Amino acid sequence: MNIPLSEILKSIPGVVGIRLEDELPSTLIREEGELEIRHYEKFTLAQTNVRGSYKEATDKAFKRLADFIFGKNSGNLTASMTTPVFMDKETDGWTMSFYLAPEAEWMQPNDPTIKVESHPAKDVAVFRYSGTQTEEAMENSRDRLMELVKSQGLTPISDVWWAQYDQPMSLPITKRNEALVKISL
Q: pLDDT tens across 43-55, in order?
A: 999 999 999 999 9
Q: pLDDT tens across 71-91, in order?
A: 999 989 899 889 999 999 998
Spell out the domains of the chain, with CATH numbers in brackets.
25-41+121-185 (3.30.200), 43-119 (3.20.80.10)
Distance CA 177, CA 185 (A): 24
pLDDT at residue 117 is higher than 60: yes
pLDDT at residue 130 is higher than 70: yes
